[in-house]
Amino acid sequence: MKQSKLTKAARGRECQVRIPGVCNGDPNTTVLAHYRMAGTCGVGMKPNDLQGAHACSTCHDACDGRSNIVDRETARQYHAEGVMRTQALLIREGVIAA
């Protein structure tokens, strides 16, 4: 599967999800974690990369439900905030336009 520029650009970046007590703070594990929401994804359909957050591996695991260190709603809130922080960062850097 071909990675988009936004997916590739997430590598090595600071985690923007930042779940307290979960985030490992290791930019070497950061990937673009897509926020899944009804109407924007489904079977065989990933959300748009603009709905992604730079997430370290442990925050990504919490967001995707692979760990249960935090409850699902808490993980979704931090993930959504991470998407917004990632978008703000990309706007500041001139990668995307508002």
DSSP string, the chain: -PPPHHHHHHTTPPPSS--TTT----GGG-EEEEPP-BTTBBTTBPPPGGGEEEE-HHHHHHHTTS--SS-HHHHHHHHHHHHHHHHHHHHHTTSS--
In the set 34, 54, 60, 79, the catalytic residue is 34
79 is catalytic: no
Residue 20 has pLDDT above 90, yes or no: yes
- CATH class of this structure's domain 5-37+44-92: alpha beta
Who wins on pLDDT, 15 or 47? Answer: 15
Q: What is the pLDDT of residue 42?
A: 59
> Above 60 in pLDDT, residue 1?
no
**What are the domain boundaries of the chain?**
5-37+44-92
Task: Report the distance separating Cα 40 and Cα 33, nearest Å.
Answer: 14
pLDDT at 41 over 80: no
pLDDT higher than threshold 80 for residue 50: yes
The reported pLDDT for the residue numbered 6 is 87
